[in-house]
Amino acid sequence: MSGTVDEAVSDVANGAEAAPLRIAVIGSGPGGYVAALRAAHHGAAVTLVEKDLIGGTCLNRGCIPTKALLAGADALAKARAGREYGFEIAGQVRPDFPRMMERKDGIVTRIRSSVEVLLKKAEVKVVKGSGSLMPGKGPTAYTVRINTAEGTENVDADKVIIATGSEPSHLPMFDFDHPAILTSTSALELTEIPGSLLIVGAGVIGCEFASLFAELGSEITMVEMMSQMLPTEDKRLAKQFQNVYRKKGIRVLLGTKVEEITEYSADHVVAKLSDGSEIRAEKVLVSVGRRPNSADLGLEAVGVETDGCGYIAVDDYMETTAPGIYAIGDVNGGIMLAHVASHEAFVAVDNSLAVRPEDRRQRDLRSTPFCTYSHPEVASVGLSEDQAAEKGYEPVTGTYRFPALGKAIAMGEDVGYVQVVADKNTDLVLGANMMGPHVTDIVHEIALAISTGLTASQLGECIHAHPTIAEAVMEAAHDIRGESVHVAK
């Protein structure tokens, strides 16, 4: 790594060893703890401030616990389909929800412990408490005041990385103190499977919880104010996805809003919808966005500006309006995904350590994968066909459907397809959208193609193992030029 603290920590020319750069990281989610480890590995003296649990929302109340529960639901579905696969299970197959939650908690604890070990081995100083920023004194750029259980501790820093994340939005028409009103956080703390569940919002979070609780036996109704489920995905994919959910018995109401909760009872609530109808449900999951954790950080005191919603303003180098202070992940209002936060952590740390301005790097989100871990899974990266046309390309697409894919048929999961988008004039891969088994894994093939500038022909020429789900990518790439031998002419 050139032009960074690796060069600065040792001044070979005069034989004097410089003091390590002091970096304070506030927040220990997938942005914060990754930033702390990256900086420590390159010689910085790092203090990581966390008021709650190491790992942040993703590890403790988001990505990992939901995937643990979804894995349990998937195993349950497989057991119920035993006859199709050639085996029988004596007795009734039913979920043991307390055990599922226990397994989820154990997985979270295991991974969190692993992160804590990594931080310890990297000699990152971890301070448990709430941090706020103040101008430093003398040669110190900034001071982080940390309110801990034992009192106040001040940490001086040359550079600061803010990675405080976000939390579920609380819409005013819902009483979140009532036990029937859930967020994505409180839904992970349920002790019983709700008999009926109204999900407000059919985005990624809503669809994942719908997939989970539908398999567990809940009666699901989803309300989405937009004209399609998964509003950021390709509209054709979203329509097919909705058809799959309909066959699962999930009711989806598009172009509809919850106007108010007209009745709060001990065992149910009644919601009035914008079309005038009412829905009675045991629980309501509100999954309509998130808000930044930027309050009480002392931002004004050090010159860090925010927008009207509280998101911290940053440039493409992840630097805020205050020199030497960076903001990464959800708190800066960009793409609110854990893997984006980790990418921005690398960018912010490298720029914090850069010796010369020309050594700085910019974030590059062109090949960011978007994944929904529902059943079936949904994934996309780059541009859809419509987006490519809007940007002035002449898009061409190639599609391969899982009902024709040997591995998908053998797995008993032949619902879905892979569609690759390329530019007709240059053959460059522009993006892809896909639905089906393991597409959240194979989408990275397209991400790599985009980031390295591969053509659809090059992607198709890459030998793919048979039988695999990834073969659908190869076949879709061939289909762009009409050359897939497994697509009927």
CATH number for the domain spanning 437: value is 3.30.390.30
Pairing of strands 142-148, 151-157: antiparallel
Answer whether residue 87 is part of any domain: no
Answer whether residue 93 is part of any domain: no
Q: Which residue, 229, 261, 286, sits at the end of a domain?
A: 286
Report which of 209, 195, 288 is spatially closest to residue 245, judged by C-alpha positions. 209
Please state the three-class secondary structure of 137-162 as a single string. CCCCCEEEEEEECCEEEEEEECEEEE
Residue type, 231: P
> Both 407 and 314 in a single domain?
no
Answer whether residue 486 is part of any domain: no
Bigger pLDDT: 460 vs 93? 460
Bigger pLDDT: 353 vs 18? 353
> Both 437 and 406 in a single domain?
yes
Report which of 475, 400, 470 is spatially closest to residue 438, judged by C-alpha positions. 470
Dihedral sign for Cα atoms in the order 41, 44, 45, 46: negative
Q: Which of 268, 343, 444, 466 is catalytic?
A: 466
User: Residue 16: is its pLDDT beyond 90?
Assistant: no
Q: Which residue, 286, 310, 344, sits at the end of a domain?
A: 286
User: Residue 4: is its pLDDT beyond 70?
Assistant: no
Quote the mean pLDDT of the chain. Answer: 95
> Both 379 and 328 in a single domain?
no
Answer whether residue 97 is part of any domain: no
Token look-up 């029988």 returns 88
> Both 184 and 310 in a single domain?
no
Answer whether residue 320 is part of any domain: yes
Bigger pLDDT: 171 vs 245? 245
> Both 310 and 451 in a single domain?
no
* Residue 151 binned pLDDT confidence (cut-offs 50, 70, 90): very high
User: Residue 339: is its pLDDT beyond 50?
Assistant: yes
pLDDT in tens, 25-67: 999 999 999 999 999 999 999 999 999 999 999 999 999 999 9
Phi, psi of 386 (to 5 degrees): -65, -40
In this prediction, residue 302 carries a pLDDT of 97
In this prediction, residue 11 carries a pLDDT of 40
In this prediction, residue 5 carries a pLDDT of 44
> Both 46 and 149 in a single domain?
yes
Answer whether residue 75 is part of any domain: no
> Both 27 and 53 in a single domain?
yes
User: Residue 272: is its pLDDT beyond 50?
Assistant: yes
The CATH number linked to 221 is: 3.50.50.60
What value does the mean pLDDT take over residues 329-352? 98
> Both 317 and 259 in a single domain?
no
Residues of the chain with pLDDT > 90: what percent? Answer: 92
> Both 272 and 297 in a single domain?
no
What value does the mean pLDDT take over residues 339-348? 98
Task: Count structural domains, the chain.
Answer: 3
> Both 435 and 467 in a single domain?
yes
What value does the mean pLDDT take over residues 455-471? 98
Report which of 168, 183, 166, 174 is spatially closest to residue 295, judged by C-alpha positions. 166
What value does the mean pLDDT take over residues 420-436? 98
User: Residue 275: is its pLDDT beyond 80?
Assistant: yes
Answer whether residue 267 is part of any domain: yes
Q: Record the tokens describing residue 286, joined without a space.
A: 């509100």
In this prediction, residue 90 carries a pLDDT of 84
> Both 382 and 403 in a single domain?
yes
User: Residue 10: is its pLDDT beyond 80?
Assistant: no
In this prediction, residue 17 carries a pLDDT of 64
Residues of the chain with pLDDT > 70: what percent? Answer: 97
User: Residue 418: is its pLDDT beyond 50?
Assistant: yes
User: Residue 150: is its pLDDT beyond 60?
Assistant: yes
Domain span holding position 318: 5-59+104-167+291-359
In this prediction, residue 13 carries a pLDDT of 36
Answer whether residue 72 is part of any domain: no
Q: Which residue, 317, 335, 359, sits at the end of a domain?
A: 359
Q: State how far the Cα of 24 lies from the Cα of 49, in Å rounded to an integer.
A: 7
Q: Report the predicted TM-score, pTM, of the whole model to 2 decimal places.
A: 0.93
Q: Would you put residue 123 in left (φ > 0), alpha (ψ -120 to 50) or beta? A: left
Q: Residue 466 catalytic?
A: yes
> Both 276 and 297 in a single domain?
no
User: Residue 2: is its pLDDT beyond 60?
Assistant: no
What value does the mean pLDDT take over residues 175-198? 97
* Residue 448 binned pLDDT confidence (cut-offs 50, 70, 90): very high
In this prediction, residue 8 carries a pLDDT of 43
Q: Cα separations (Å) of 225 from 106, 231, 381?
A: 36, 10, 24
